Amino acid sequence: MLLATVVLVELLARAMTSEWLDLASWPGVRQLANRNVALRPYQVPSDGYGRHWVLRPGWSASGPGDANVLLSSPDAAYVGPSINSAGFKGPEIPQDRSSLPRLLFVGDSVTFGLNAFDYVRVVESRLSTRAVPTICINAGVEGYATRNAWLERGRYRAQHPDVVVLLLGWNDLYGEDGSYGTAWRSFESIRMVRKLVRSAAALADPLGYATSQRWKTKRVDPADPAIARYANYTPPFLGRLEQLGEALSDGGGRIVLATLPALYRDGDRPSALALERGHLPEFTDNPLVLAAMTRQVNDGIRQLAARRGWQLLDLDLWAAGLGADKASYFSDSVHLNQSGLHIMGQFVADWLDSHGGLPSTNAR
């Protein structure tokens, strides 16, 4: 009976976490799941999916800074983001679909940017100054993982993009539980219990929990056994990223996969400034573990692009090329500050213009 109970609990846990069953999107469960999602004023919970949210169409505001413990001071004055009527960050999107090439940038908070500023607008401005006018649509949403982007694929396709840049993976990576390469990786019930414990701590004191994770003490340990475990890490979310790219390419868009620009890179010893600014996943205090995981994610993205014949925008190599001053362009391990976003936007614009990523306006 004990064995039968253990098996039943494990099967139930697997059913509850199955991406095919997706219990969080069932009526009732959906409302409960979305009730516990911390949202900003310009975000609203999804009507159709649990653990999912979208930007509030038509929202705009200026005033006191929000309590973003990762990216900004809660006391800072700021100009808030503007959300257009289609529910994307930025200005209204022209209704005439035949006027200019459309570039859609799908991503998380890196793409969403800092308050009113983001690299997508830099791309649009730089291409315009190079006599390559485009319509750039920022489909980045803070907190989005590949699952969230997959759920929005219909809205993305409705914009009829000519080029789709996919910059996703950080929230999937940070959502890992540290079990990779361990015996209990195969037991979904144990992983679920660990997630529930973490969720309970976060819900009890969201700001305190986030702050403790943001500023926890780091140790640089090249001998950490976790580094060896993640040397062969296979990111489980790459399959969904491929599905998303396939769905958007079927809509006629040219797919560009972007690697993740990271503060901590495999093979580099973090500088004092990098250690001060960086933040780590819940399950580790070693920046080198995050670097090993990021290397595997970026290698997987490169292999996926090569296998599918999609274009590769290697922002990982771009970030590495920033040299010794790289940390000065980051606000934490994954987010670029305004200076970093600005030069990344210029790089992306130049890359798109020089790598055949833009369709001819006359051909349209």
- The CA-atom distances, in angstroms, between 267 and each of 80, 240, 261, 289, 293 are 38, 28, 15, 11, 12
Write down the domain spans for the chain. Answer: 2-354
Token pair recorded at residue 175: 């959502």
The pLDDT of residue 119 is 98
What count of other Cβ atoms lies within 10 Å of the Cβ of residue 130?
Answer: 11
The pLDDT of residue 26 is 58
Question: Mapping DSSP to helix (H, G, I), strand (E, B) and coil, where does residue 167 land?
Answer: strand
In CATH, which of 2.40.50.140, 3.40.50.1110, 3.10.50.40, 3.10.129.10 is domain 2-354? 3.40.50.1110
The pLDDT of residue 5 is 79
- The CA-atom distances, in angstroms, between 45 and each of 24, 150, 229, 244 are 13, 16, 37, 21
CA-to-CA distance for 161 and 105, rounded, in angstroms?
A: 10
pTM of the model: 0.88
285, amino acid identity: D
What count of other Cβ atoms lies within 10 Å of the Cβ of residue 207?
Answer: 12
Q: How far apart are the first and last CA of the chain?
A: 68
The pLDDT of residue 70 is 36
The pLDDT of residue 105 is 98
The pLDDT of residue 355 is 85
Answer yes or no: are the C-beta atoms of 277 and 332 closer than 8 Å: yes
The tens digit of pLDDT for each residue in 168-224 reads 999 999 999 888 887 767 667 766 676 666 666 655 666 676 788 888 999 999 999
Answer yes or no: are the C-beta atoms of 178 and 276 closer than 8 Å: no
Token pair recorded at residue 345: 């936007």
The pLDDT of residue 296 is 97
CA-to-CA distance for 111 and 313, rounded, in angstroms?
A: 14
Helix axes 2-17, 188-204, angle to 10 degrees: 60
Element (H, E) at 43: strand 43-45
CA-to-CA distance for 306 and 130, rounded, in angstroms?
A: 29
Contacts of 347 (CB under 8 A, 6+ apart): 315, 318
Element (H, E) at 165: strand 163-167
Residue-wise DSSP of 59-120: ---EEEPP--TTTS-TT-EEE---B-TTS-BSSPPPS-TTSS-EEEEEESHHHH-BTTB-HH
The pLDDT of residue 30 is 58
Residue ranges for the chain with pLDDT beneath 50? 63-76, 78, 361-364
The tens digit of pLDDT for each residue in 13-26 reads 566 566 555 655 65
Q: What is the CA radius of gyration of the chain?
A: 21
Contacts of 30 (CB under 8 A, 6+ apart): 24, 48, 49, 50
The pLDDT of residue 80 is 79
